Amino acid sequence: MTGRLIVYGIGAIGGQVAGRLHSAGLKVTAVEPWDAQREVVARDGLRIARLDGSVERHRPPVIAPHALEGRVDLCLLAVKSYDTEAALRRVLPHLAPDALVVSLQNSINEEWIAPLVGAGRVLGGVVLVNAVLLEPGLITVTASVSRATAGAQLPGVYVGEYLRPAGDNARRVAQLLAAVWPAESIDDLLHERWTKMVTNSALNPVSGLGGLASAAMLSSAAARRAIIGIAAEVLHVAAAEGHPLARVMGDFSAEEVCAGALGTSDAFDRGLAARAARVSADAATSLLQDVLRGRRTEVDYFSGMAARKGRAHRIATPWCDAATALVHEIEAGRRAPAAANIDELARRVARCALR
């Protein structure tokens, strides 16, 4: 692709994109709102610690949002979901008439991006890799729960166009992102978005509540019970939204997940427990990273979104409701992350069942 490219947000995901694309010779500008990250990257560059122990070093040019000038031909958006609108308001005056906006974010932010820039210019990148950014300038790549499958071979990112099959735009963006991770264009973006929503909604709140890294979470029977309950609810909501899903996390059928929530099968529970050994010990969900930093989380765009959409379809989501509320209590400083919170989550769901 030709023209000017910006990566807006260079955290654990956006930093990999900006650094590797710049080192591949593309004209990339990184736009970073977080002062500490921007200053370290501008002064010392960006380090990416890989799974094999090697360290990549990149020096993408980085600016503050207010310093953005000139024409933008492609915007790769990698900010937190709650910062989406503010980022777009900053970028909109600079977008070329035929510019594309690609969400590399969690959740389903294309729903809010499309009214601002036009649905025909919106693409999504469903990122399946995991990384942590616990200090400015250093990204540590970890083995993710999403890709720790027993059999399925998954890319690093799926690229699709919003509300239409993959065309030239999706294929060109996938080709571009192949310099960052293995990339694949897909015809049904929202199917993959909802597939990841099941994973994000189930894993992120539970890890944040328990203060548990991913492997430790999967090793906990109580945490797995909560994961299964949330995942089954999101599957029901996805189907009501017109996106019935056949599989979750590559290995598990929707039937196995729902049967696990009903207590009639332990296949999903056993599969989750087995994944603990295939996930990096330092792998952590994005929500846990936010909790550890004392930052606002994206829970309203994970289990919170599933619950809101569930109410619109009259689908009960007690696991999602309780998990979202408990994470809000942590954000407000009324509760600290601890394994006891997962027990409290189960108690709240049980009380809902008695009403």
pLDDT digits over 235-289, tens only?
999 999 999 999 999 889 999 999 999 999 999 999 999 999 988 888 899 999 9
Residue with tokens 């090793």: 219
Report which of 151, 310, 325 is spatially closest to residue 239, judged by C-alpha positions. 310
* Claim to verify: residue 182 and residue 240 sit in the same structural domain: no
Structure tokens at 343: 């027990």
Give the domain CATH number at 260.
Answer: 1.10.1040.10
pLDDT digits (tens, 9 = 90+) for 88-122: 999 999 999 999 999 999 999 999 999 999 999 99
Check whether 176 has a pLDDT greater than 60.
yes
Say if residue 281 is in the same domain as residue 320. Answer: yes
Q: From the DSSP assignment, how many helices (H) and strands (E) are in the chain?
A: 14, 14
* DSSP H or E run through 125: strand 122-127
Predicted local distance difference test score (pLDDT) of residue 282: 86
| Closest alpha carbon to 84 in 107, 58, 56 | 107
Query: Domain of 73: which CATH number?
Result: 3.40.50.720
What's residue 116's pLDDT?
95
CB 29 within 8 Å of CB 90: no
Same domain, 219 and 286: yes
DSSP state of 301: G
* Separation of alpha carbons 129 and 123, rounded Å: 18
Q: What range defines the domain where residue 95 resides?
A: 5-187
Whether 52 contacts 63, CB under 8 Å: no
181, 275: one domain: no
What does the pLDDT average to over 59-88? 97
Pick from 301, 280, 279: which is nearest to 290 by CA?
Answer: 301
Residue 205 and residue 225 in one domain: yes
Nearest CA to 197 out of 274, 276, 332, 299 is that of: 299
Do 178 and 74 belong to one domain? yes
Pure H helices in 13-123 = 14-23, 35-44, 84-91, 110-117
State whether residue 132 is helix, strand or coil: strand
Kindly give, in sequence order, each residue whose CB lies less than 8 Å from that of residue 231, ignoring residues fewer than 6 positions away: 198, 199, 201, 202, 248, 257, 261, 268
- Are 145 and 261 found together in one domain? no
Q: Per-residue confidence at 145, pLDDT binned at 50, 70, 90? A: confident
Tell me how crowded residue 216 is: count the other CB atoms within 10 A of its CB: 18
**Same domain (yes/no): 139, 219:** no
Residues 333 and 277 grouped into a single domain: yes
If asked whether residues 207 and 258 sit together in one domain, one would say yes
Q: What pLDDT does residue 151 have?
A: 60
Q: Are residues 134 and 50 in the same domain?
A: yes
Tokens of 121: 């210019």
Q: Which of 133, 157, 187 is the last residue of a domain?
A: 187
Q: What is the pLDDT of residue 214?
A: 94
Assign 208 to helix, strand or coil: helix
Boundary (domain end) residue, out of 120, 154, 187 = 187
Indicate whether 167 and 304 sit together in one domain: no
Tens of pLDDT, residues 5-61: 999 999 999 999 999 999 999 999 999 999 999 999 999 999 999 999 999 999 999
**137 Ramachandran zone, left/alpha/beta (phi>0; psi -120 to 50):** left
Domain count, the chain: 2
The tens digit of pLDDT for each residue in 304-349 reads 999 999 999 999 999 999 999 999 999 999 999 999 999 999 999 9
Out of 154, 170, 187, a domain closes at: 187
74's enclosing H/E stretch is: strand 72-77
Q: pLDDT at residue 144 above 80?
A: no
